[in-house]
Amino acid sequence: MYDVIIIGKGPAGISASLYTVRANLKTLVIGKNDSVLKKAEKIENYYGFADTIKGDMLLHEGEKQALRLGVELIDDEVISIDKMDFFEVATSTQKFLSKAVLLATGQPQKKLRVGNLNKFEGNGVSYCSTCDGFFYRSMKVGVLGFKDYAVHEALELLTYTKDITIFTNGKELKLSEKYIEDSRMFRVNRKPILELEGKEFLESIYFEDGTFEMLDGLFIAYESASSVDFARKLGIIVDENSVVVDKNMQTNLEGLFAAGDCTGGFKQISVAVGQGALAGRGIIEYVKKTK
Ligand SMILES: Cc1cc2nc3c(=O)[nH]c(=O)nc-3n(C[C@H](O)[C@H](O)[C@H](O)COP(=O)(O)OP(=O)(O)OC[C@H]3O[C@@H](n4cnc5c(N)ncnc54)[C@H](O)[C@@H]3O)c2cc1C
In the chain, the percentage of residues whose pLDDT exceeds 70 is 100
pLDDT over threshold 90, residue 82: yes
Taking the C-alpha atoms of residue 240 and residue 213, their distance in angstroms, rounded to an integer, is 31
Res 60: pLDDT: 97
| pTM (2 d.p.) | 0.91
CATH number for the region 118-220 comes to 3.50.50.60
pLDDT over threshold 90, residue 253: yes
What confidence category does residue 112 fall into, taking pLDDT thresholds of 50, 70 and 90? confident
What confidence category does residue 154 fall into, taking pLDDT thresholds of 50, 70 and 90? very high
7, 43, 105: residue to mutate for ligand 1 pocket, most atoms within 8 A of CB: 105
Res 127: pLDDT: 87
Of 4-13, 33-42, 45-54, 197-206, give the lowest mean pLDDT range: 33-42
Counting from 1 in the atom list of ligand 1, the atom nearest the Cα of 34 is 47
Mean pLDDT of 14-26: 98
Measured by CA distance, the residue closest to atom 8 of ligand 1 is 43
Angle among Cα 228, 217, 240 to the nearest 5 degrees reads 25
Q: Does 54 or 223 have the greater pLDDT score? A: 54
Mean pLDDT of 240-260: 96
Sequence-distant (≥ 6) Cβ neighbours of residue 155 within 8 angstroms = 182, 185
Res 120: pLDDT: 95
82 close to 68: Cβ distance less than 8 angstroms: no
Mean pLDDT of 112-119: 92
Measured by CA distance, the residue closest to atom 53 of ligand 1 is 36
Average pLDDT, the chain: 95
Angle among Cα 176, 113, 240 to the nearest 5 degrees reads 90
Of 25-39, 84-98, 105-119, 202-216, give the lowest mean pLDDT range: 105-119
Counting from 1 in the atom list of ligand 1, the atom nearest the Cα of 14 is 25
What confidence category does residue 206 fall into, taking pLDDT thresholds of 50, 70 and 90? very high
Q: Please give all residues whose beta carbon lies within 6 A of any atom in ligand 1, as ranges.
A: 7-13, 30-32, 34-37, 39-40, 43, 45-46, 77-78, 104-106, 224-226, 260-261, 267-270, 272
Q: How far is ligand 1, taken at its centre, from the CA of residue 113, in Å? A: 23
Res 182: pLDDT: 94
Q: How far is ligand 1, taken at its centre, from the CA of residue 142, in Å? A: 31
Counting from 1 in the atom list of ligand 1, the atom nearest the Cα of 44 is 8
Measured by CA distance, the residue closest to atom 37 of ligand 1 is 105
199 close to 193: Cβ distance less than 8 angstroms: no
Multiple choice CATH, 2-109+226-290, 3.30.365.10, 3.50.50.60, 3.30.465.10, 2.60.40.60: 3.50.50.60
32, 36, 41, 57: residue to mutate for ligand 1 pocket, most atoms within 8 A of CB: 36
Residues of the chain with CATH 3.50.50.60: 2-109+226-290, 118-220
103 close to 87: Cβ distance less than 8 angstroms: no
236 close to 105: Cβ distance less than 8 angstroms: no
SS3 of residue 91 by DSSP: strand
